Amino acid sequence: MVGMTSTPRPSNLDPEIAARLKRSPDGLLPAIAQQYDTGEVLMLGWMDDEALHRTLTTGRCTYWSRSRQEYWVKGDTSGHFQWVRSVALDCDADTVLVKVDQVGAACHTGDRTCFDADVLVADAPAPGQ
Mean pLDDT over 55-78 rounds to 95
Mapped onto helix, strand or coil, the DSSP state of residue 53 is helix
Nearest to 12 by CA among 46, 61, 57: 57
pLDDT in tens, 19-44: 999 999 999 999 999 999 999 999 99
Q: Phi, psi (5° rounding) for residue 121?
A: -140, 135
Is 76 annotated as ligand-binding?
Answer: no
Q: For the chain, what is the largest distance between any 2 Cα atoms, rounded to a whole number of angstroms? A: 53
Is 61 annotated as ligand-binding?
Answer: no
Is 107 annotated as ligand-binding?
Answer: yes
> Which residue spans within 48-114 are E strands per DSSP?
62-65, 70-73, 82-89, 96-102
Is 91 annotated as ligand-binding?
Answer: yes
Is 90 annotated as ligand-binding?
Answer: yes
pLDDT in tens, 68-123: 999 999 999 999 999 999 999 999 999 999 999 999 999 999 999 999 888 888 88
Superfamily of 22-102 according to CATH: Phosphoribosyl-AMP cyclohydrolase (3.10.20.810)
